Amino acid sequence: MTINDIKHPKIKAWVEEVVKMCQPDDVYVCDGSQAEYDRLMKKCVDSGLATPLAKKPNSFLFRSLPSDVARVENRTFISSKTQDAAGPTNNWINPDELKATMTGLYTGCMKGRTMYVIPFCMGPVGSSISKNGIELTDSEYVVLNMHIMTRVGTKVLDVLGTDGTFVPCLHSVGKPLAEGETDGGIWPCADIENKYISHFPEERLIWSYGSGYGGNALLGKKCFALRIASVIARDEGWLAEHMLILKLTNPQGEVKYITGAFPSACGKTNLAMLIPTIPGWKVETIGDDIAWMKFGKDGRLYAINPEAGFFGVAPGTSAESNKNALISAEKNTIFTNCALTEDGDVWWEQIGYPAKGKLVDWKGNTRDALPKDTSPKGEEFAHPNARFTAPAAQCPCIAPEWENPEGVPISAILFGGRRPSTVPLVHQSRNWNHGVFLGSIVGSEITAASTIDASQVGKIRRDPFAILPFCGYNMGDYFSHWIKLGAKADQDKLPKIFYVNWFRKDDDNKNLPGGFMWPGYSDNSRVLAWIFDRCNGADNAIDTPIGFMPKEGSINTDGLADHYKKTLPAITSVDKEGWLKEVKDVRENHYPKFGSHLPKELVECLDDLEKRLNS
């Protein structure tokens, strides 16, 4: 397809404007076909950017440069008209100033390259909950990943017609080519100081420059589905959240749908694809990363997964931690920054088995494999943020209704993060506002997926609602939006809210693998079962200063290892001193950041918690 085939005047005019600015050698409008995907992948293979994998049908390995391996939060901007609208947790630059800077960078930036026009839909095409976008990019890697992660092509242009609403998304790797020059098999990107991932909320506009990697470049994902969508959701009265969606079925065949918000690399994908250890229970996947939720005619909150694929963290994914993810990525998958084995497969740390012979690491160096599946820090064969991009439809536990345009009704919302102390295995909020309070104080260890500063990995930072890097406006106003939605709803039909923590540690206990006091992974089904019963009104909880917690014996421990049975009482009790420190930190260091935008309801919850702990 060509520009002249676009029937939507605004899209056509915008594309022509960008062509004039970026000066690509050619323009191609994506149709979303398999033939298109195969042709562009062959181009990447022929240029040396992609390696076919002999052991995985129609799957390929890419390697980025070390400077382009993760989201760059310090180069990500919410460029609202005022700094106050962006809030204290976002980087802000005046939109006129930022556009002037980026226009200078964009001018001529696609010389020597093709500009691809990607019509894409977040959510099932034609759904009333879905939203459409157009991404312009000079990266074949981006086109290929967008093919998997979104619904791409002519069908989206057909839905848009001549006047449909769309979010314009402009992306460039920021590396123009002189006449006759090629990338020479080297990942194209710009220097870190010239990387910009910019959002203009009032215009519903995204500009990204200089990075070809993940959330910086696949603009339908974090940029559209969270940062811009969160603003649209605020204005239209719904929720765009950094949440998994799972379907949970009990032994009697009763179904409940649960969402969960965890910071990156805290086990969202693992939980979404969990294989329960307790007999008769079943988990199926609706989505592993993003949930868009709107109230249905019956007053319940309904969620869709706006994505069509999984962009999962590879290291740590094993048959034990997430067998279904491994199966999902057995074919038709793009791998990024994984290691390459001699027989043409991918490998990463904690995959569950050692590699044999020699490996080509993520930097392209050939090294002898180690006799185990771990590596010394800084010497990993796969980058800690290495990824797999796999079609959701290939997941063996994908729910039949995962693409239901009406969404699925949510019974419970989970918050969680990596907390080695204080926060118990599970507790339930007293009411909706208390649940918003729990979401507002989420904290987690910083991971390789969320920072390029290795010195920060392992430290705790607050990540409210696990959406801190992805909220497109002032987070104080975001908290207010949740409270206002709850106040308008039928309280009996609102989801119940829980806080979970799979990561409590006791490093002095030699019987605990890794020092963890809970086995996690499939055994998290035991907590899900308790939550399921709570949603049914079961009398399986006690009232504590921090909320409702499991009664003794209410969590199924049949088949659980004895050392975890012994630690269960400690992780299902209230650490009074730890929580008082938590209250102090929230009051002195966290909540003051939001100033007058902080809802009074959350301060009331904090005061109530302190009072209960001291009584």
Residues annotated as catalytic (active site), given as ranges: 266
Q: Any residues with CB less than 8 A from the CB of 212 and at least 6 apart, and which?
A: 64, 68, 139, 141, 142, 173, 187, 188, 189
At 194, phi and psi to the nearest 5?
-105, 10
Structure letter (DSSP) for residue 266: S
Residue 298 burial (10 A CB sphere; 0-12, 13-18, 19+): exposed
Q: How would you class 603 by CB atoms within 10 Å of its CB: exposed for 0-12, middle for 13-18, buried for 19 or more?
A: middle
Beta bridge partners of 498: 414, 428
Residue 542 sits at φ, ψ, to 5 deg, of: -120, 150
Full strand arrangement of the beta sheet holding 60-62: 50-52, 60-62, 334-336, 387-391, 309-313
Q: Within a 10 A sphere around the Cβ of 405, how many other Cβ atoms?
A: 13
CB 571 within 8 A of CB 423: no
Gyration radius from the chain CA atoms: 24
b/e string for 463-489 if b means 16 or more Cβ within 10 A? bbbbbbbbbbbbbbbbbbbbbebbeeb
**DSSP 8-class letter at 227:** I
Beta strand spans in 84-195 (E) = 114-122, 131-137, 151-152, 167-172
Asked if 504 and 564 count as a contact pair (C-beta separation under 8 A), the reply is no
Provide the 8-state DSSP code for 222.
I
Residue 390: phi and psi, rounded to 5, are: -130, 145
Phi/psi of residue 360, each to 5°? -95, 115
CA separation for the pair 393, 145 (Å, rounded): 15
The total number of residues shown for the chain amounts to 615
Residue 443 CA to residue 438 CA, distance in Å, equals: 10
CB 387 within 8 A of CB 311: yes
Please state, as a whole number, how many other Cβ atoms lie within 10 Å of the Cβ of residue 108. Answer: 13
Report residue 129: phi and psi, to 5°: -90, -20
Residue 389 to residue 201: CA distance in whole angstroms = 28
Quick one: how far is CA 464 from the chain centroid? Answer: 14
C-alpha distances in angstroms, 276 versus 284, 314, 469, 503? 10, 21, 31, 18
Return d(Cα 81, Cα 33) in angstroms, integer: 39
In which region does residue 342 sit, left (phi positive, over 0), alpha (psi from -120 to 50) or beta (all else)? alpha
